[in-house]
Structure 1
Amino acid sequence: MRYTFLLYTDPADLSDMTPEDWQAEKEVYGAYIGALQKAGVFVDTDWLQPVHSATTLSLKGGTRQVQDGPFADTKETLGGYFVIDVPDLDAAMVWAQKCPAAKTGKVEIRASAMGGE
């Protein structure tokens, strides 16, 4: 079964990070990716640009509406995701607990509606 981890953080928590802090953060995530790959559960990941660079589009009501910024103005923003393939939600939660984002923000776990391969 495929699960997607949506990684949420408060951008204010990242505002004081130095280039060295960012490098250390990349290394922590690299180790996590390596562990997922070694376990044979890794499918995909991406680190998203900051929320201020978002554009939201809607055709609701038949009219094209384009908004600069995210869909919702919230304190925590979506910063990236992981897709893994594991047997069940319990296994997904074990990997979510190991995700570095769980220590500084939140990891939303969503099962794929299309299943796994």
Structure 2
Amino acid sequence: MEMKDATTALAALGQDTRLAVFRLLVEAGPEGLAAGAIAEALAVPPATLSFHLKELGAAGLVVAMPQGRSIRYRADFEAMGALIGFLTHNCCGGNADACRPAASSRSAARRKVSAA
């Protein structure tokens, strides 16, 4: 992935609604979701959702799949992997074990802070 492509993708994900849409589509998997289902799940007006899906599509992160009179959207997992690869290229001096995400540790730390 080139720097320009990474910048475009990160800028698209740098907005709350677009990040929520992308995360929802990642969760939905390769089959994706219909635009109406996305709008309903995120309580986003259709016109607003259309704008955000267009931005995510332009950034190469979302693919539109026409189905008759409706459109399903799915995350482009290859593009997502390329972005993650770009961000982690040569991470920790090439020590891949040191670069593994510690999601469970962060979640536990957040729960402790919330409880306090």
After TM superposition, the score normalised by the length of structure 1 is 0.28
TM-score normalised to structure 2 length: 0.28
Which structure dedicates a bigger proportion of its chain to strand?
A: 1
Greater relative contact order (Cα < 8 A, sep 6+):
1
Higher helix share: 2
